[in-house]
Amino acid sequence: MSEQKIGKVLYSQTDITKRAKEIAAQINKDYDGEDLILLCTLKGSVLWFADILKNITVDTKIDFVSASSYGASKTSSGVVKIKFDPEINMYNSHVIVVEDIVDTGNTLKYLLAKLEERGPKSVKVCTMLNKESRRTTDLHADYVGFEIDDLFVIGYGLDFDQRFRELPYISYLEEDDVEAL
């Protein structure tokens, strides 16, 4: 296994949980009196999803979806694979997709189109991180934890080749390692 050098801490656990509270408060306001489905995108969103969920006060159901366009590399393959287990009925419900990071927007764009086929009342996106500068689609994130530069970030659920998800903070892989891949 090659060794990658982890950069400095971009966002600590305290930063992230504080921001999740702020966003959940906004969601509670926006969906006051409504039912809501929070859909967690596996695997990268699990920690952020839990932080959001713990602070939601509106009537909420949850479910999980797996969609990815990345393998063991840092560049999108462009091919989106969806393992979708639609246990929950989304018809006529408000849905918020809780995502770890929106990069090109490719994965979510594809997923949102699939979700629309289920006839939800609305679908919005809540992402922990947003790499707006990398966007190649018209995907809009409604709730954004943090805007970040074009770095390959890891930690707090985010991986590189399934590693680093356990870090209790968001960091990045050093440039040398990025270029070597």
Q: Binder to ligand IMP among 100, 115, 126, 141 (CB under 6 A)?
A: 100
Report if residue 101 touches ligand IMP, rule: CB under 6 A.
Answer: yes
| C-alpha dist (Å) from residue 40 to 54, 64, 131 | 13, 5, 19
| Residue pair 90/118 in contact by the 8 Å Cβ criterion | yes
Tell me how far apart the alpha carbons of residues 122 and 113 are, in angstroms, rounded to a whole number. Answer: 12
Catalytic annotation present for 32: no
**Which residue's CB is nearer to ligand IMP, number 34 or number 85?**
85
**Which residue's CB is nearer to ligand IMP, number 102 or number 115?**
102
Among the listed residues 51, 100, 103, 177, the single catalytic one is 103
| Residue pair 95/37 in contact by the 8 Å Cβ criterion | yes
| Residue pair 104/76 in contact by the 8 Å Cβ criterion | yes
Tell me how far apart the alpha carbons of residues 31 and 94 are, in angstroms, rounded to a whole number. Answer: 9
**By CB under 6 A, how many residues form the interface with ligand IMP?**
17
- Would you give the DSSP letter of residue 164? S
Q: Binder to ligand IMP among 63, 104, 146, 178 (CB under 6 A)?
A: 104
Q: Of 136, 147, 149, 132, give the one whose Cα is nearest residue 107.
A: 136
* Closest approach of ligand IMP to the CB of residue 29, in Å: 26
* Closest approach of ligand IMP to the CB of residue 113, in Å: 13
**Which residue's CB is nearer to ligand IMP, number 30 or number 169?**
169
**Which residue's CB is nearer to ligand IMP, number 4 or number 107?**
107
Q: Interface residues for ligand IMP in 125-164 (CB under 6 A)? A: 152-153, 158
Report if residue 177 touches ligand IMP, rule: CB under 6 A.
Answer: no
The answer for residues whose C-beta is within 8 angstroms of residue 165's C-beta and 6 or more apart is 43, 44, 155, 156, 157, 158, 159
Q: Binder to ligand IMP among 106, 111, 123, 128 (CB under 6 A)?
A: 106
Binding site for ligand IMP (CB under 6 A): 44, 68-70, 76, 99-107, 152-153, 158
Positions annotated as catalytic residues are: 103
